[in-house]
């Protein structure tokens, strides 16, 4: 193998290593100050995987250049628990909660199936979680959940039928909206009485990137649009997170948050949430936990966060194929 080729491969390796290190820093950088770098939060898992490939390549070459990506992976080891979970988890829990972005129940026929609302309802009822939080809810869809006596359906903008919903088998004694400005995205909450205490459930949906997960329809024009608009989107997410965290301080109860962050576990908004909350996937997740396919790259942008005194004993992603997102189901143990 020529020296030129090895030098070329190492140059590419070095570029990937630099971008990966930049990705590690993203949770600490405000998108309002570092807009261009923000896109790395979407592709950091892919960058980590490429570093693994370079490690294997240089190992087979018996070349000390293996040290570069090896160091990058060692430095990024704390990020691995956000990427994959190995150990099996127990099932014992006091509360089960599902978070699901239903993409308007297929309102615009993205999927060739005219029974999406009914199929989603049937699928949820078979699993029967205690609480179901839905993002991109469409109120005119034939979506019936008779097992859930208590519910909060919130349509944010007058004249619209798009909003968010919380369905509960447990009594709701208070509810409300955070009210993000100038967008259909929002956060709503419901105070729910459990067998042992009252907790606050938030349904959080941060600003959308407005891209499709369908590779076939992801054109070059859409890719360019994403690059141009992502900075603005991540700045909006930063603003919405600041507003949400201020509202969170007013909660009189311990909280559980079902969230579509439209961002990954390597983002600024994720770090802000996990400063005082736990990511259920890190304690109870299984496998990759992917909830969304971004150009065939599985990423986790849907989450369940809990108060630090709660324990997520099991969290799994359900591969239903009824939306561009997959639902997540978490089982939570109270102290």
What lies within 8 Å, CB to CB, of 302 at 6+ separation is 99, 100, 101, 259, 260, 261, 291, 292, 325, 326, 327, 328
Predicted model pTM: 0.89
**Structural domain ending residue among the three candidates 82, 110, 139:** 82
Coil, helix or strand at residue 268? helix
Verify that 157 and 40 share a domain, yes or no.
Answer: no
Range name among 11-20, 87-96, 206-215, 217-226 with the lowest pLDDT average: 217-226
Verify that 18 and 153 share a domain, yes or no.
Answer: no
Task: State the pLDDT confidence band at 221, using cuts at 50, 70 and 90.
Answer: low
Verify that 131 and 64 share a domain, yes or no.
Answer: no
Considering Cα of 78, then 82, then 85, then 89, what sign does the dihedral take?
Answer: positive
pLDDT at 229: 75
Verify that 106 and 145 share a domain, yes or no.
Answer: yes
Would 178 be classed as within a structural domain?
Answer: yes
Verify that 108 and 61 share a domain, yes or no.
Answer: no
Mean local confidence (pLDDT), 181-187: 92
Place of tokens 């070329």: 8
Mean local confidence (pLDDT), 5-27: 91
Name the burial class of residue 195, with classes exposed (0-12), middle (13-18) and buried (19+) by CB atoms within 10 angstroms of its CB. Answer: exposed
Domain count along the chain: 2
Task: State the pLDDT confidence band at 329, using cuts at 50, 70 and 90.
Answer: very high
Mean local confidence (pLDDT), 15-26: 92
CATH code of the domain in which 237 resides: 3.60.10.10
Task: State the pLDDT confidence band at 35, using cuts at 50, 70 and 90.
Answer: confident
Verify that 175 and 29 share a domain, yes or no.
Answer: no
CB 127 within 8 A of CB 120: no
pLDDT in tens, 292-327: 876 566 788 999 999 999 999 999 999 999 999 999
pLDDT at 46: 85
Verify that 69 and 124 share a domain, yes or no.
Answer: no
Would 73 be classed as within a structural domain?
Answer: yes
- Helix then strand count (H, E) for the chain reads 8, 14
CB 291 within 8 A of CB 323: no
Interatomic CA distance for residues 215 and 192, integer angstroms: 40
Interatomic CA distance for residues 253 and 52, integer angstroms: 43
Task: State the pLDDT confidence band at 97, using cuts at 50, 70 and 90.
Answer: very high
Pairing mode, strands 328-333 and 311-317: antiparallel
Token digits of residue 106: 């297929």
Verify that 61 and 209 share a domain, yes or no.
Answer: no
DSSP E strands: which ranges in the chain?
A: 95-101, 131-138, 150-155, 162-168, 172-177, 186-193, 198-205, 255-260, 277-279, 292-294, 297-299, 302-307, 311-317, 328-333
pLDDT in tens, 106-137: 999 999 999 999 999 999 999 999 999 999 99
pLDDT at 87: 64
Would 89 be classed as within a structural domain?
Answer: no
Verify that 78 and 131 share a domain, yes or no.
Answer: no
Which domain range does residue 20 map to?
Answer: 3-82
Interatomic CA distance for residues 20 and 36, integer angstroms: 14
Give 150's DSSP letter: E
Partner residues linked to 307 by β-bridges = 277
| Confidence check: pLDDT of 216 > 50 | no
| Confidence check: pLDDT of 43 > 90 | no
Mean pLDDT of the chain: 89
């Amino acid at each position: 193998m020529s020296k030129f080729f090895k030098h070329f491969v190492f140059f590419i390796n070095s570029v990937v290593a630099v971008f990966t290190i930049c990705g590690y820093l993203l949770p600490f950088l405000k998108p309002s100050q570092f807009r261009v770098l923000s896109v790395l939060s979407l592709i950091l898992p892919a960058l980590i995987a490429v570093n693994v490939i370079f490690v294997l390549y240089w190992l087979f070459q018996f070349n000390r250049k293996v040290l570069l990506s090896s160091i990058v992976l060692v430095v990024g080891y704390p990020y691995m628990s956000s990427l994959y979970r190995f150990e099996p988890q127990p099932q014992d829990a006091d509360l089960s909660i599902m978070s699901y972005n239903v993409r308007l129940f297929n309102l615009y026929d993205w999927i060739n199936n005219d029974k999406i609302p009914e199929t989603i309802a049937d699928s949820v009822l078979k699993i029967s979680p205690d609480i179901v939080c839905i993002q991109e809810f469409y109120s005119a869809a034939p979506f019936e959940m008779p097992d859930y006596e208590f519910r909060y359906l919130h349509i944010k903008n007058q004249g619209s039928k798009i909003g968010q919903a919380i369905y509960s088998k447990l009594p709701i004694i208070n509810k409300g909206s955070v009210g993000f400005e100038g967008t259909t995205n929002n956060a709503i909450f419901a105070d729910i009485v459990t067998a042992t205490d009252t907790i606050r459930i938030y349904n959080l949906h941060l600003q959308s990137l407005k891209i499709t997960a369908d590779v076939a329809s992801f054109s070059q024009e859409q890719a360019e649009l994403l690059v141009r608009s992502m900075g603005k989107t991540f700045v909006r997410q930063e603003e919405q997170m600041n507003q949400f965290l201020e509202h969170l301080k007013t909660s009189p109860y311990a909280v559980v948050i079902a969230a579509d962050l439209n961002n990954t576990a390597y983002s600024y908004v994720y770090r802000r949430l996990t400063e005082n909350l736990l990511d259920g996937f890190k304690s109870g997740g299984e496998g990759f936990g992917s909830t969304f396919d971004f150009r065939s790259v599985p990423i986790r942008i849907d989450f369940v966060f809990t108060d630090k005194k709660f324990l997520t004993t099991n969290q799994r992603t359900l591969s239903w194929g009824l939306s561009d997102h997959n639902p997540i189901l978490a089982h939570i143990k109270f102290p």
